[in-house]
Amino acid sequence: MQTTTLSFANLHNHGELFANMLRARRELFIVHNKWNLPEALGMEYDQYDTPASRWVVVHDELGQVLAGNRLTPTTARCGIYSYMIRDAQRGLLDTIPSNLLYEEAPVAENIWESSRLFVSHSVPASMRRRVHATLIAELGRAARELGASYCLTLLAANWPRWSKRVGVEMKAMGPVLTIDGVENQVVAMDFSSNLH
């Protein structure tokens, strides 16, 4: 199992890995979850997949994607968009309720958003916990390298059951909301204690 943090600056060094990650996202979010998201050439994408973002990918030596995640700075701007959680709060997204945060969405150099977090359905149950922990560890490493002490993320509301297992302090930043029949909640992942 390998981890790679992709950026527009290094995509060319990793062959099909970025495309494979977008294909894995399509398989999970569009095919399995039946979310109405943009897709092209068998890949899922949205307005936040820009040069400002980074993508953390867990994969095997052949480039098969096991898990992934996108990191976007909360200072990002692209037209009317900033980052997903903030844009939902501002009423720019139809699919996520605007009352997802207790307070105004932060815009700060040391806070990034973690979105599109997934573990592929092709990962066997016996490996899922290890793959998920590897993804979160690499997410933390990448976030710290980018100068982030916190990442905001919209997760399934069962996060308290597994946050300690992956070694990350998490705090609820908004109410539990049902989105597409699943209970979700915005959470802050605290990477500040690991900053060196």
DSSP string, 151-176: EEEEEETTGGGTTTTTT-EEEE-S--
| Total residue count of the chain as it appears in this document | 196
Nearest to 56 by CA among 114, 112, 96: 114
In the 8-state DSSP scheme, what is residue 196?
-
Domains of the chain listed by start with CATH number: 2-194 (3.40.630.30)
Q: Considering only 22-36, 56-70, 72-86, 182-196, which range has the smallest mean pLDDT?
A: 182-196
The set of residues, in sequence order, having a beta carbon less than 8 Å from that of 161 and lying 6+ positions away, is none
Tokens representing residue 45 in the block: 């994408």
Kindly report the average pLDDT of the chain as a whole number: 91
Quick check: 192 and 150 in contact, CB under 8 A?
yes
Whether this prediction's pTM lies above 0.95 is answered by: no
Q: Which amino acid is at 8?
A: F
Instruction: Say whether 77 sits in a helix, a strand or coil.
Output: coil
> Is 196 a residue whose pLDDT tops 60?
no
Burial of residue 178, with CB atoms counted within 10 A of its CB: 0-12 exposed, 13-18 middle, 19 or more buried:
exposed
- Residue labelled with tokens 């903030």: 86
Tens of pLDDT, residue by residue over 84-125, are 999 999 999 988 999 999 999 999 999 999 999 999 988 999
- The model's pLDDT over 35-56, given as tens digits with 9 standing for 90+, comes to 888 999 999 999 999 999 999 9
